[in-house]
Amino acid sequence: MNYAIIAAGEGSRLAQEGVERPKPLVELNGTPMIKRLIDIMLDCNAESLSIIVNEQMTEVRRYIESLTLPVPLYLTVKSTPSSMHSFWEVSRKFPATGKFVLTTVDTIFHEKDFRQYVNAFEHDDSADGYMAVTSFIDDEKPLYIDVDNDMFITAFRDNPWDGVKYISGGIYGLTAPALDILDDCMKRGVSRMRNYQRALVEGGLRLKAYPFSKIVDVDHAGDIATAERFIAEGNA
């Protein structure tokens, strides 16, 4: 499996709340956020890792460049206007065929859930993508997901409705056809991952929703302790 990590956000809210380290290097139970993700991906049959950081993150860039990994590591240093643009940058390193999984550096999940998700995606040829979803809403602006009886995604919505079960978990398992739609979105001036995801459905791709027990984000200083407790629960 080829993996990508978007670590290009500024982490401005953390800085405003007194967290001095750049977000990817914020430690969770003694391990930098980005190192935890890398280790999990390596344990899940990584063939390559692609990471993007912004141009101001010199400390993060140096940290990543100092790592010695058993698989190819492609580092892109570029400031982008949105996570969709960051995705386009890292996708330049993906092979023309095969599957890949993308997430952002502050998406926190249990390793067991992630391993099961990757395994299911690897062995399912009926879907063009596997999108992580959760019923635990811990996002300031969640992206709500509508599914059919077979858990294939029918719509991505900004607002909830009666009976809504899932929101996006921010982990995207995709295949080569999704990159063609990404290229088209770039040409049309589309921005934001949620609009790209809508384009995937509009383009006829079969995306399966894969439920995680819980996924949390680290956006504020208080989220750090919450994430550490959550990780510890998964390791128990």
CATH code of residue 126: 3.90.550.10
Structure tokens at 17: 């709340």
208 CB burial (10 A radius; 0-12, 13-18, 19+): buried
The number of C-alpha atoms within 13 Å of 218 and in the hemisphere containing its C-beta is 32
Tens of pLDDT, residue by residue, the chain (236 residues)? 999 999 987 667 888 888 889 999 999 999 999 999 999 999 999 999 999 999 999 999 999 999 999 999 999 999 999 999 999 999 988 887 889 999 999 999 999 999 999 999 999 999 999 999 998 766 678 899 999 999 999 999 999 888 889 999 999 999 999 999 999 999 999 989 999 999 999 999 999 999 998 999 998 999 999 999 999 988 76
Residue 236: its pLDDT value, please?
61
How many domains does the chain contain in total? 1
H-helix or E-strand spanning residue 85: helix 83-91
Secondary structure class of 184 (helix, strand, coil): helix
β-sheet bridge partners, residue 166: 145
Domain that holds residue 212: 2-235
Residue 66: its pLDDT value, please?
97
Structure tokens at 148: 């059919």
Residue 139: its pLDDT value, please?
63
Cα 113 to Cα 1, 73, 120, 133: the distances in Å are: 16, 24, 11, 11
Question: What DSSP letter does each residue of 98-154 carry, written as one string?
Answer: SEEEEEETTEE--HHHHHHHHHHHHT--S-SEEEEEES----SS--EEEE-TTSBEE
d(CA 187, CA 64): 31
Structure tokens at 88: 């386009």
* Short-list 179, 170, 8, 3, CA closest to 81: 8
Query: Whole-model pTM?
Result: 0.94
CB 7 within 8 Å of CB 23:
yes
